[in-house]
């Protein structure tokens, strides 16, 4: 039995939506609990598939946890297994985040290559190169990374900014001997929160929020974590703002940090939308006319690649030609043929997509190819006349909590249905 999402034409939304904790902050923070000497309590943890997968992986290593009402209590003090098995890792790339803390704490570990990926496509090689510089002996056998050795602080220069690479090395350096300096570090809010949590747990970290982070390791001494609240999910927030934009509706978001959204708010404003800000609340106001936009994806604080697909959906309703250049990942335009199936006018030349709007979209069967592509198809489905069926929606549940319920509360007409497959 497979599930799909049926969306009926929903040209206007209204109301308030509460944004969940950030998946991309929760994952490294939960992995960092491996460095703790006792039980850790994290609050505002999103109940999404990726979080549940990581908890399954940690339980497989010997951790114990209780997870209810967004409150996670996790105790890794009895971990007795240092092998992260393919069966769990294959479903989520972020599983690589256990590599740094396991190696730092135990001096050895074996972690499956994530998602069966070829090294290089998303640069796991940068993680490995950095750990080797810290003194690790690393080999790859039968799809597993075998790592061993006592880690020592050193200078690490990332050839390319890598969020999970930065997070892995920050965690590894926390228990290493001596000073580690990470140059060309990622500056995302999720990286910053990880640093702040480790600092509160007893690690001396300087340069938090900058592209040069200095960590003075504890030389193997485990940490004492404080209770922490996970920051709001800026990509989930951006997706609901995009839903308001594509339907030209007024929506209020609760539990957001507007400062984390600056890279996308500027693009919404260029398209004609305005905002009312009030501490942790943000209201998007309809545009008189949706203007076309030029976007280049880049690392934080620039425009995030995780919002590219959603903005492409909005651009189908803009008056004129929009241009989106994807600089961070290959294969990030897989939603284009699906949007075109709904009636969009989008062409691709290498890393650049050109969108001619406005297009009258008409419902059809479409297929989600990844997490953010699936949300873009849902947005397009809201304004497509008739009925749109989005298949392979398991991608959505990896990163969005209560996705359908939240949309229905805003007035969207959608439901999850089962389909028989031969």
Which of the residues are catalytic?
117
Contacting residues for 178 by C-beta, under 8 A, at least 6 apart: 152, 153, 154, 216, 217, 219
Q: For the chain, report the end-to-end CA distance as a whole number of angstroms.
A: 10
User: In this structure, are residues 331 and 308 in contact, taking their beta carbons and an 8 Å threshold?
Assistant: no
């Amino acid at each position: 039995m497979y599930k799909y999402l049926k969306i009926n034409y929903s040209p206007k939304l209204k109301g308030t939506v509460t944004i969940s904790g950030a998946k991309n902050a929760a994952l490294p923070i939960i992995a960092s609990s491996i460095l703790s000497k006792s039980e850790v309590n994290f609050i505002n943890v999103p109940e999404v598939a990726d979080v549940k997968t990581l908890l399954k992986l940690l339980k497989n290593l010997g951790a114990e946890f209780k997870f209810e009402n967004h409150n996670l209590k996790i105790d890794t003090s009895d971990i007795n297994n240092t092998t992260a098995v393919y069966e769990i890792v294959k479903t989520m790339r972020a599983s690589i985040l256990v590599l740094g803390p396991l190696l730092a704490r135990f001096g050895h570990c074996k972690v499956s290559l994530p998602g069966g990926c070829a090294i290089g496509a998303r640069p796991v090689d940068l993680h490995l190169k950095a750990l080797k510089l810290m003194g690790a002996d690393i080999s790859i056998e039968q799809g597993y990374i075998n790592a061993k050795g006592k880690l020592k602080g050193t200078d690490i220069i990332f050839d390319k900014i890598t969020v999970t690479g930065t997070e892995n090395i920050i965690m590894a350096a926390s228990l290493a001997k001596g000073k580690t300096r990470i140059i060309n570090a990622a500056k995302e809010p999720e990286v910053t929160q990880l640093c702040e949590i480790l600092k509160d747990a007893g690690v001396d970290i300087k340069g938090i929020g900058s592209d040069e982070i200095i960590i003075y390791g504890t030389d193997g001494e485990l940490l004492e974590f404080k209770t922490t609240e996970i920051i709001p999910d800026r990509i989930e927030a951006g997706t609901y703002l995009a839903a308001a934009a594509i339907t030209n509706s007024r929506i209020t978001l609760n539990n957001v940090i507007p400062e984390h959204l600056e890279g996308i708010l500027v693009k919404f404003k260029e398209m004609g939308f305005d905002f009312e800000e009030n501490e942790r609340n943000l209201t998007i106001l309809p545009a008189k006319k949706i203007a076309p936009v030029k976007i280049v994806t880049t690392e934080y604080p620039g425009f995030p690649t995780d919002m590219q697909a959603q903005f492409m959906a909005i651009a189908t309703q803009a008056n004129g030609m929009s241009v989106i250049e994807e600089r961070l990942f290959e294969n990030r335009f897989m939603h284009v043929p699906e949007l075109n199936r709904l009636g969009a006018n989008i062409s691709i030349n290498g890393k650049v997509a050109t969108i001619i709007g406005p297009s009258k979209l008409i419902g059809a069967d479409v297929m989600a190819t990844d997490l953010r592509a699936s949300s873009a198809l849902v947005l397009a489905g809201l304004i497509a006349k008739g009925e749109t069926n989005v298949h392979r929606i398991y991608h959505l549940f990896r990163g969005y909590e209560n996705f359908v319920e939240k949309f229905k509360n805003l007035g969207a007409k959608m439901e999850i249905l089962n389909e028989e497959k031969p």
